[in-house]
Amino acid sequence: MAQQVKAVIARAKGAPVEVTTIVVPDPGPGEAVVRIQACGVCHTDLHYREGGINDEFPFLLGHEAAGIVESVGEGVTEVGPGDFVILNWRAVCGQCRACKRGRPQYCFATHNAGQKMTLLDGTELSPALGIGAFAEKTLVAAGQCTKVDPAAEPAVAGLLGCGVMAGLGAAINTGGVGRGDSVAVIGCGGVGGAAVLGSRLAGAAKIIAVDIDDRKLAGAQRLGATHTVNSRTTDPVEAIRALTDGNGADVVVDAVGRPETYTQAFYARDLAGTVVLVGVPTPEMKLELPLLDVFGRGGALKSSWYGDCLPSRDFPMLIDLYLQGRLDLGAFVTETIPLDGVEQAFARMHEGDVLRSVVVL
């Protein structure tokens, strides 16, 4: 029997989000219904609401979630009812050319639920990143459920499902930050803050946090930044060079995703250093760089989708480090809010008041 549950949707571009009743079908073959316990508010949800991702409204928002598997469809063996899981947006197919070459983190055909969740009138919903978890329950592909130690707090665990994993992975997977490296992170919200934390975990010697908001810089310091630069008042390229003996950082992570921050990242890295773009640009943004500088400075310009993570490999390991007290994932939960608090949470995100607001059900 399909179920009716409360959920947060974005009906039209720019309109405030609303809590409404949606219909969640029973899981079909390869699918699972998950009772959501917690779901973080990510900047990408706001991008969806503003029509910055695509125009397939209405969206069922929310995608940084943890919960309990309620039921599974035919043929599902990897998870079962009662399992504590983090939802992921990289359920790899195992069949595409990336998977077959042993690079499943680049899978081109990741799985989502085949059936659609709908409004009461039958209108099909587009779940954010194929998840849609500002909802009492959601329908996903079973491979989108990653089992982790149930001792973890759902509000903390869920954040690994997107932004925190994206930031940690941007530093340690995509950027390959290692012991003794110098790292600069531009934009220290949930994603950039996690890149700072990941750099510390990997043993970076110098971690320079850059933001336009002093509160975010203070937060980054608590996560492991060794130096901070307010780029509203100080030129970040000069500051990063000055802090690295005039060279620039080995790895610079752009966790904002604007032409100006990318340009800063490009010139703030050392010769042969690596730039990692993890912030998501909007369609109208253009980048202009002297091609000779792109060539002459060498190194690598990389983009990071979801921190190049493999959920089955990374989520349980990171949750274990968290439970051992070695990775302060709890620091990202600024506040917990009810399902009808998402619109206000967007406003607070916009004002820079929070790292993460987390809906707890």
Ligand X SMILES: NC(=O)c1ccc[n+]([C@@H]2O[C@H](COP(=O)([O-])OP(=O)(O)OC[C@H]3O[C@@H](n4cnc5c(N)ncnc54)[C@H](O)[C@@H]3O)[C@@H](O)[C@H]2O)c1
Binding site for ligand X (CB under 6 A): 42-44, 47, 162-163, 166, 186-192, 210-213, 216, 231, 255-258, 261, 278-280, 304-306, 349, 352
Q: Could you say which of Zn ion, ligand X, none residue 96 binds, taking C-beta under 5 to 8 angstroms by partner kind? A: Zn ion
Q: Which is closer to ligand X, CB of 149 or CB of 214?
A: 214
Q: Which does 231 bind (CB under 5 to 8 A by kind): Zn ion, ligand X, none?
A: ligand X
Q: How far is the CB of 305 from ligand X (least distance, A)?
A: 5
The residue among 106 and 323 lying less far from ligand X, judged by its C-beta, is 106
Coil vs helix vs strand at 85 = strand
Q: How far apart are CA 89 and CA 143, in angstroms?
A: 9
Which H helix or E strand runs over 45? helix 43-49
Q: Minimal distance in Å, beta carbon 310 to Zn ion?
A: 11
Residue 306 contacts which entry, ligand X, Zn ion, none (Cβ below 5-8 A, type-dependent): ligand X
| Binder of residue 252, out of Zn ion, ligand X, none (CB less than 5 to 8 A by kind) | none
Name the one residue in this structure whose structure tokens are 């009662």: 82
User: What's 17's DSSP letter?
Assistant: P
In the sheet where 118-119 sits, what is the strand order? 118-119, 18-24, 3-10, 59-60, 126-127
Q: How far is the CB of 281 from ligand X (least distance, A)?
A: 8
Q: Say which entry of ligand X, Zn ion, none residue 273 contacts (CB below 5 to 8 A, set by partner kind).
A: none
For ligand X, the closer of residues 206 and 216 by Cβ is 216
- State the angle between helix axes of 236-243 and 259-268 in degrees (0 to 180), rounded to the nearest 10: 20
Q: State how beta strands 31-40 and 59-60 pair.
A: unpaired
Q: Interface with Zn ion by CB under 5 A: which residues?
A: 42, 44, 92-93, 96, 99, 107, 109, 162-163
Nearer to Zn ion, 87 or 107 (CB): 107
The span from the CA of 196 to the CA of 248, in Å, is 17
> Could you give the 3-state DSSP secondary structure of residue 314?
helix
76 or 159, CB closer to ligand X? 159
List Cβ neighbours of 19 (8 Å cut-off, separation of 6 or more).
Answer: 6, 7, 8, 339, 340
Using the minimum distance from each CB to ligand X, give the nearer residue, 145 or 237. 237
Q: Which amino acid is at 117?
A: M
- Closer residue to ligand X, CB minimum distance, 349 or 361: 349
CB of 272 to Zn ion, least distance (A): 31
Report the nearest approach of ligand X to the CB of residue 263 (Å): 11
Report the distance separating Cα 23 and Cα 2, nearest Å.
6
Name which of ligand X, Zn ion, none residue 11 binds, using a CB cut-off of 5 to 8 Å depending on partner kind.
none
Instruction: Give the bridge partners for 35, in sequence order.
Output: 68, 137
Indicate the residue whose CB is closest to ligand X: 189
Closest CB to Zn ion among residues 146, 182: 146
Strand order in the sheet with 249-254: 227-230, 206-211, 182-186, 249-254, 269-277, 300-303
Q: Could you tell which of ligand X, Zn ion, none binds residue 99, using a CB distance below 5 to 8 A set by kind?
A: Zn ion
Nearest partner of 60 among 94, 10, 102, judged by Cα = 10
- Residue 311 touches which of Zn ion, ligand X, none (Cβ within 5-8 Å per kind): none
For residue 120, the minimal CB distance to ligand X (Å) is 30
Alpha helices in 129-275 (DSSP H): 154-157, 163-169, 190-201, 214-223, 236-243, 259-268
Q: From the list Zn ion, ligand X, none, which binds 34 (C-beta under 5 to 8 Å, kind-based)? A: none
Question: Of 140 and 278, which CB lies nearer to ligand X in the complex structure?
Answer: 278
Neighbours of 124 (CB within 10 A): 12
- Shortest distance, position 352 Cβ to ligand X, whole Å: 5
Minimum Å gap between C-beta 200 and ligand X is 17
CA separation for the pair 47, 320 (Å, rounded): 31
Token pair 């530093």 in the structure block, residue: 171
Q: In the complex, what is the shortest distance from the CB of residue 43 to ligand X, in angstroms, rounded to a whole number?
A: 3
Give kind and range of the element (H or E) at residue 49: helix 43-49
* Distance of alpha carbon 347 from alpha carbon 330, whole angstroms: 22
